Structure 1
Amino acid sequence: MLLKEKNYFILVFIHVILGFIIFNNPRLSVIYTILIFIVSFYFVIKTKNRNNEVLYAAAYIVGSEVFLRMTEGGILYEFGKYGVIIFTIIGMLYSGFSKNALSYWIFLILLIPGVFIAMETLDFGTEIRKTIIFNISGPVSLGVASLYTYNRKISINELNNILLLIGLPIISCAIYITLYIPDLKSVLTGNASNVETSGGFGPNQVATILGLGMFVFFSRLLFASSTRLLFIINLSLGLLMTYRGLVTFSRGGMITGFVMFVVLSCFVYFYTKQKLKLNYFFGIFITAFILIFSFSEYQTGGLMTKRYANQDAMGRTKESNLSGREVIAEFEINSFLEHPFFGIGVAKGLELRRDVSGEAIASHNEITRMMAEHGALGILALLILLFTPIFLFLDNRQHVYMLSFLLFWLLTINHAAMRIAAPSFVYALSLLKVHFNE
């Protein structure tokens, strides 16, 4: 076994064992959280961020966030977003930021009026400071991380390592979920999103992070599988993420991960001269994916296909394609039309829906939420986020991941808003100036 293979195998093995250990003693999850922060902080301070170590630290925190939440290890529920903010600020203190990142200063400034409006309009009984911070932390973490990554030079190997650090704790998460529910059929009562098959945690967040993990390890098949053993390890991990994500019955995260990989594959195929080699690779990948989907279909007794065909367990087509989320989106669009300039204020939409329906239903769509709560300023902020990476890409064609990263952010905020740090951080990675080694 080559040294490179041995080191990689050890990293993967450690995170497999970590999943077993925390499953058997969940209290150790708190210690794991503390160690992540201490080791990351020490690593960054010791190196003085000479090689963008803050991105490695933030990446590992992002990858571990959902696992820590489901095992109640997070000292703070928003540990992931705060971690991204803290480490990228440290990175800017050591390494500065681009003077051309003005668009992201503007983005952060555009969020301020919505905060002041919320301070005036939120109900008296609401914990205003806590509520505002909870709802604004996602966009703020995106803005701060983007200030650091804007046009920052990095090699493709370094970027692959950053993605690996996202993926490693997701291995532990997948192992934990596998142990949590060894007998899948015993908990299936229909084909709606299933908390039990998601490790006892929210299926939407779990599927989102598993979909990202699937993309990480499938992308390593293209860029970091120089030997047969590495190829087998990465393919196995990618298929494990795929299976565990599919049986959550939460579609958004898995569709997003699949779209990301298809876009990356098309980009690589278009630019490479080794098309014959890639044809063999795609043949293996498609065969493996069909097999794992068929296995999932068998394990769920045919419910998987019905879920993705938008049918209920009886095979009847559902009236809603979005699990009722379009009702919330329509409410937010109407709120925007009533308050088109500055919006209704951060987190006010949740209170208004509670007053109307009696249920405090959180938004799943960051686009309509930004429209409702920030008004025209929110739309301008979203346009900045959408077009800035595209403009940078025109002078950065070697960033093969850019479109995939941008799509992850865009698709994720449409079905899971910004409840976890992953869309913020992955979006920020789309702004890096990537170069290939000779």
Structure 2
Amino acid sequence: MAFHIALGFAVYIFNAFSKYYLIAICFYFLYRIITNANRKDEILLAAGYMTGFEVLSRMTGGAISYEFAKYAVIGFVLIGMFFKGFKLTSWPYLLYTIFLVPGIVFSAINLSYEAKVGNAIGFNLSGPVCLGIAALYCYDRKIPIARLQTILLAVLLPIVSITVYLFLYSPSIREVLTGTASNFAASGGYGPNQVSTVLGLGAFILFTRIFTVKNRFINIVDVGLLAVIGYRALITFSRGGVITAIACAVLFLIVFYLKSGVKQKVNLLPKIVLLVSVIVGIWVISSFATMGLIENRYANEDAAGREKGDVGTGRAAIFQTELEAFKEAPFTGIGVGKSKEYRKKRTNIEAASHNEVSRLLSEHGLFGILALVILLVTPLAFGLQHRSNIYLYSFLCFWFFTINHSSMRIAAPAFIYALSLLKIDYAPKKKTAIHRK
């Protein structure tokens, strides 16, 4: 933890350090995976860390390419498959990946001559392909609960570095307030939507650790981090990540309560009271720091208290054009990356999609519908059959909420979705008996 706090300082002082660090951790994880032959699913540890580090590398200019984290996750998972393969029962995700191929063909046919076909396909398909490959590896794979907690910690640690960076970049929110719109200055000069999403993920992981990690000192540290990360997520003024984190936390708490014994349920109450108090405290402090503007934001009002017309800040218009594109080509779709050109031509709005569901429909047509059915039905059927993963519904919630407000711009929704497909072993590790002569 201390190392990642220091990392936040180092990256703020010397932005280019994030690029060298990114290269170093890639080699470090490759070394661990190959030398251990992925015996303890080290590839999930590597993929998780890259997922958490992605936004920090982007906001500091350290990303080797914009989609590098997704490609890195795909690369690590493929190496993992080389060592461990994947279950034949994961065939729905192989089918899902195949359903993405026709959209590439129609993209090559339909995109304008000025468009860079490779970039359009990479930007729009790297996320869905990342999900497919990661899900293929994770489906029905059994891992101990301690290993899953280590993977989630790997996701969390770079988010701690992001939080440190944000405090150094804009220590006072009042100095950078510009109204109730998403605040780039409070988000490290980067996209508030993506920053809010990853901070919300960090807050959710911390929330779950307070119930699953049985160590009082660690719990105290986690509560403190939850307060700090939750505050920074709120003052980005981007609502998607915060609302997603709350929904995931509520779902996790319901599942955890239902699976707990009578004694555990009694012990839950003090923790719930503490966490509710922390959340209320975060809101009060955020309201004071933003002079009440954060309340206007969540009430869908401008700085003067007037109600805004579009709660989705322009997303509804984008969604509508993609539905129109789907109606024009319901079977084949208009091709990967074509929806941006289509929208520009129809409405003069030049913006990428914020909604992965409508994008799949418009660009992939019938194949997009089939892909969505697989993504929704397969984990739910898996959960009903096994019921071992207490994170399943929370992880699915994170994926679904995130792709509806931020599409798949970052690797987080793809990787977290894949983790929902793991089978969790809660049995304590047996100690090996030592026989003495």
* Structures share fold, TM-score greater than 0.5: yes
Amino acid at match of 1:31: Y
Matched, 1:241 2:229: yes
Counterpart check, 1:356 vs 2:343: no
The AA in structure 1 aligned to 2:126 is S
For 2:266, the equivalent position in structure 1 comes to 276
Pick from 46, 59, 63 the counterpart of residue 70 of structure 1: 59
CA distance in 1, matches of 2:388, 2:97: 28
Q: How far apart in 1 are the matches of 2:309 and 2:289?
A: 26
In structure 2, distance between residues paired with 1:347 and 1:16: 38
Task: Determine the C-alpha separation between the residues in 1 that align with 2:380 and 2:176.
Answer: 44
- 2:433 matched to which residue of 1? none
Query: Partners in 2 of 1:213 and 1:268 — Cα distance?
Result: 19
Tell me the residue number matched to 2:34: 45
Q: Residue 150 of structure 1 aligns with which residue?
A: 139
Partner residue in 2 for 1:430:
420
How much has 1:383 moved relative to structure 2? 0.7
Q: Measure the CA separation in 1 of the matches of 2:427 and 2:139.
A: 20
TM-score, length-scaled by structure 2: 0.96
- The structural deviation recorded for 1:37 is 0.5
1:396 aligned to 386, 410, 413, which one? Answer: 386
Alignment deviations for residues 110-150 of structure 1 (CA, whole Å, 9 cap, x no partner): 11111000001100011112221221111000001111001
Q: Please state whether the residue corresponding to 1:101 is helix, strand or coil.
A: helix
Using the alignment, how far apart are the partners of 1:61 and 1:129 within structure 2?
23
Partner SS, residue 424 of structure 2: strand
Deviation per CA, 1:143-174: give whole Å up to 9, x if none.
01111001000111111111000000000001
Distance 2:382 2:388 in 1: 11
1:397-416 alignment runs, 5 A limit: 397-416=387-406
Alpha-carbon shift at residue 304 of structure 1 (Å): 0.8
Within 5 Å, give how 1:182-261 maps onto structure 2. Answer: 182-224=171-213, 226-261=214-249
Quote the Cα distance in structure 2 between the aligned partners of 1:178 and 1:386: 38
Residue 267 of structure 1 pairs with residue 255 of structure 2 = yes
SS at match of 1:100: helix
CA shift, 1:407, in A, is 0.5
Q: Cα offset for 1:356? A: 2.7
The Cα shift of 1:355 comes to 2.0
AA in 2 matched with 1:377: F
For structure 1, which runs of at least 5 residues remain unmatched after alignment?
Answer: 1-11
Partner AA of 1:240 in structure 2: V
Q: Per-residue displacement from partner, 1:280-312 (whole Å, max 9, x unpaired)?
A: 110000011101110000000001111111111
Q: 1:300 pairs with 275, 279, 290, which one?
A: 290
Letter in 2 for 1:25: F
Task: Spell out, residue by residue over 1:49-107, the C-alpha distance to the aligned partner (whole angstroms, 9 max, x if none).
Answer: 00111000000000000000001111121111001100000000000100111111110
* Distance (whole Å) between structure 2 residues aligned to residue 257 and residue 396 of structure 1: 25
| Residue in structure 2 matched with residue 8 of structure 1 by the alignment | none
- Give the alignment of 1:22-101 within 5 angstroms: 22-101=11-90
- Counterpart of 2:332 (choices 329, 342, 360) is 342
CA distance in 2, matches of 1:314, 1:144: 48
- Correspondence for 2:9 among 13, 20, 45: 20
Deviation at 1:228, TM superposition (A): 2.3
Q: Distance in 1 between matches of 2:352 and 2:250?
A: 31
Partners of 1:35 and 1:423 lie apart in 2 by 25
Distance in 2 of aligned mates of 1:159 and 1:13 = 22
The alignment partner of 2:311 has SS state of coil
> Per the alignment, in what secondary structure is the counterpart of residue 171 of structure 2?
coil
Number of the residue aligned with 2:118: 129
CA distance in 1: counterparts of 2:24 and 2:207, whole angstroms: 28
**Structure 2 Cα separation of the partners of residues 358 and 279 of structure 1:** 53
The answer to whether the 8 A contact 1:154-1:435 is kept is yes
Task: Name the Cα RMSD after superposition.
Answer: 0.9
Counterpart Cα distance in 1 of 2:103 and 2:206: 39
**Amino acid in the other structure paired with 1:173:** I
TM-superposed deviation, 1:227: 2.8
Read off the aligned partner of 2:241 and give its amino acid letter: G
Q: Is the 8 A contact 2:325 2:342 kept in 1?
A: no
Unaligned stretches of 5+ in structure 2?
429-437
- Say whether residues 1:369 and 2:359 are aligned partners: yes
State whether residues 392 and 431 of structure 1, in contact with CA within 8 Å, keep that contact through their aligned partners in structure 2: yes
Question: Letter of the aligned partner of 1:261 in structure 2?
Answer: A
User: Do the aligned residues in 2 keep the contact of 1:409 with 1:427 (CA within 8 Å)?
Assistant: yes
* 8 Å Cα contact 1:184-1:300 kept in structure 2: yes
In 2, Cα distance between equivalents of 1:387 and 1:321? 29
Q: Does the Cα contact within 8 Å between 2:55 and 2:195 map onto a contact in 1?
A: yes
One-letter amino acid of the counterpart of residue 427, structure 1: Y
Comparing 298-307 with 124-133, greater Cα deviation is found at 124-133
2:239 touches 2:298 (CA, 8 Å); kept in 1? yes
Match of 1:3 in 2: none
Secondary structure at 2:88 match in 1: coil
Taking the aligned partners of 1:105 and 1:25, their CA distance within structure 2 comes to 42
Per the alignment, in what secondary structure is the counterpart of residue 154 of structure 1? Answer: strand
C-alpha contact (below 8 Å) 1:396/1:434 kept by paired residues: no
Structure 2 letter corresponding to 1:200: G
Q: Aligned-pair distance for 1:358?
A: 3.2
Identity over the aligned pairs, expressed in percent? 44
Letter in 2 for 1:228: R
Kept in 1, the 8 Å contact 2:338–2:363? The answer is yes
- Alpha-carbon offset, residue 395 of structure 1: 2.3
1:7 is aligned to none
